[in-house]
Amino acid sequence: MTELLDGKATALQIKEEIANEVRQLTAAGKRAPHLAAVIVGTDGASMTYVANKEKSSHEVGFTSSVYRMSESTTEKQLLESIEFLNNDPDIDGFIVQLPLPKHINEQKVINAISPDKDVDGFTPINIGRMVLGEDCFVPATPMGICTLLQRYGIETVGKHCVVIGRSNIVGTPVANLLSRKGFDCTVTMCHSKTQNLKDITRQADILVVAIGKPEFVTADMVKEGAVVVDVGIHRVEDATKKNGYRVIGDVKHSEVDAKCSWVTPVPGGVGPLTIVSLLQNTLKAYKKSNC
């Protein structure tokens, strides 16, 4: 029987845990943790993500602020804003919503974020610490995937985990985390140059799909009884929906789900855990400087 790795329910549970901690902190006279976000331009998906982060921050009792900058913002202006946030003692952590407009060098901007406030875990310092197994801010989506597997007690030790995708924000860090002591998976990482992909994915006890192609993974690519984690998020037009679209993943759930022992739904799987991981990282940043 296929069971759901219910990201929505798990996220609610973790948010309640965070909210309890925040209530205790503020009851003791301390200020609430503060998460800030910088958004450049008016990309619809980015604005939705930032609005969701703001909403979730408020739900757990955090202070939240959003710095909205115009599409024509220069790299220099953005770097100056980051410097301001790095030095503001009332802000515990902040994120710069990606992608940035093409005239801005994304890596240069990420590099400018203080590693102590880098709650997205994207700076080279945090990535280096993660690879070394040191204390760090783990990138939110991979952290959310690990949390989901842990909270549902999914057996990982010695299991073959196949990750499709090697991006810096999902595939590479999740492959690293799941191969580490504690998870102890044997990890194979696949990418666009991988040959015989299907032969590899069919060997997976745990299949993590972060490829960015709608419904790419079909039933013939999945082993009977596998655990499938679908990271993909795509909006497709759907006239039957009030908002005119529905959200689908990188996995063709209509045919894959029946073969899985556990599967993340889309929406309501990895997505809610990504936001919650950001909140957990912000609380951690707060505690480092305030507790």
Helix (H) / strand (E) element for 185: namely none
6, 15, 92, 97: the catalytic one is: 97
Q: Is residue 7 close enough to count as binding ligand NAP by CB under 6 A?
A: no
Q: Is 120 marked active-site?
A: yes
Residue with tokens 């309640």: 16
Query: What residue is closest to ligand NAP based on CB?
Result: 167
Q: At 112, list the tokens.
A: 């400018």
Residues 181-240 that bind ligand NAP (CB under 6 A): 190-194, 197, 210-212, 231-234
Q: Is residue 166 close enough to count as binding ligand NAP by CB under 6 A?
A: yes
Q: Closest distance between ligand NAP and the C-beta of residue 183, in Å?
A: 19
Residues 135-164 that bind ligand NAP (CB under 6 A): 141, 164
Applying CB under 6 A, the site for ligand NAP has a residue count of 25
Q: Are 200 and 188 in contact (CB under 8 A)?
A: yes
- Mask for 262-281, x = binds ligand NAP (CB under 6 A): --------xx--x-------
Q: Is 241 marked active-site?
A: no
Residues 62-81 that bind ligand NAP (CB under 6 A): none
Q: Are 276 and 19 in contact (CB under 8 A)?
A: no
Q: Is residue 121 close enough to count as binding ligand NAP by CB under 6 A?
A: no
State the Cα–Cα distance between residues 173 and 69, nearest whole angstrom: 29
Closest C-alpha among 151, 162, 167, 131 to residue 5: 151
Helix (H) / strand (E) element for 179: namely helix 171-179
Q: What value, to the nearest 5°, has the Cα angle with vertex 26 and ends 137 and 13?
A: 55
Residue 19 burial class via C-beta count within 10 angstroms: exposed 0-12, middle 13-18, buried 19 and up: middle
Q: Is 77 marked active-site?
A: no
Which spans of this chain sit near ligand NAP (rule: CB under 6 A)?
141, 164-167, 169-171, 190-194, 197, 210-212, 231-234, 250, 270-271, 274
Positions annotated as catalytic residues are 53, 97, 120
